[in-house]
Amino acid sequence: MARADTLARARELDHPELAYLVRFPAADGSQDMELTWAELARDTNWVTERLREHGLAAGQKALLTTSGFEGFWGHAVIGALRALRVTYGIAEAMGWDHRRTAVFHRELDPNVVIGLSAETLEGLAGAADIGEMFRSTSVVLARPAAVPVLRGVGVSACMITALGPALALECPERSGAHVNAAEWRVAEQDGELLIASGEQRASRLPAIPLGIPGRVITGRCACGSEDPRVLLAEAGPTSSSRS
């Protein structure tokens, strides 16, 4: 009873709007941008719909590999998994934690793996057959440098990547990673990607070059979405500093 009272009182208190201060690499050095709880909730809804398109549903199991500093999108993915009632485990995306990914893969037997990095694959490759591990996984959403490695061994991976403060997520059509047009503007200039905040975003971000080679595809995707898609210039397994 005392706890219920405490919670009721806590709900009446003022809550700060700010959820995260997002620091991201851009062409001219690090940039900061604020992320509010309201924006995080909208981002979570968008990711939920993207994961639903990939067939994620209640009762399935997921493995998420992410790093603490990626909380601005990791939180949205976790929120989406909870909303879809998908059980999840989390491993660190840095190479040194690849054994945790191996353990989760064995013990959890996930239907979906999200955020696989080239460093994790490199670590796993020492003791396992990557293709055998992930070919039977229904949905594999991997970082840019990991996608060609996985596809090279017959895993039909889709791309997930941070684009500065935004998240890009490829749909099952695998024809470029979608960016939420309600929240962000993506563009290309001289073969590199730019990102800007949409009108809804509390923290304004003018179009800034990200130093990521790629191009933007507009128009309706075969999945039905009007959200623009980005195609990255293919990165090798070792050039993963921006993945």
Residues that bind Zn ion (CB under 5 A): 171, 173, 221, 223, 225
Least distance in Å: CB of 171 to Zn ion? 3
Structure-block tokens of residue 94: 């840095």
Q: Is the CB of 92 or the CB of 173 nearer to Zn ion? A: 173
Q: Is the CB of 153 or the CB of 223 nearer to Zn ion? A: 223
Least distance in Å: CB of 224 to Zn ion? 7
Q: Is the CB of 165 or the CB of 176 nearer to Zn ion? A: 176
Task: Give CA–CA dist 180/75, Å, rounded.
Answer: 16
Q: Is the CB of 40 or the CB of 177 nearer to Zn ion? A: 177
Least distance in Å: CB of 56 to Zn ion? 16
Residue carrying the six token digits 């993506």: 186
Q: Phi/psi of residue 199, each to 5°?
A: -60, -30
Structure-block tokens of residue 227: 């959200």
Contact between residue 178 and residue 222 where contact means Cβ atoms under 8 Å apart: no
Least distance in Å: CB of 223 to Zn ion? 3
Please give the full DSSP string across 125-163, using - where no structure is assigned: HTTS-HHHHHTT-SEEEE-TTHHHHHHHTT---EEEEEE
Least distance in Å: CB of 231 to Zn ion? 12
Start-to-end C-alpha separation, the chain: 48
Least distance in Å: CB of 227 to Zn ion? 7
Q: How far is CA 200 from CA 57, 129, 180, 218, 229, in A?
A: 29, 45, 12, 20, 20
Q: Is the CB of 36 or the CB of 225 nearer to Zn ion? A: 225
Contact between residue 188 and residue 215 where contact means Cβ atoms under 8 Å apart: yes
Q: Is the CB of 54 or the CB of 75 nearer to Zn ion? A: 54
- Count of residues for the chain? 243
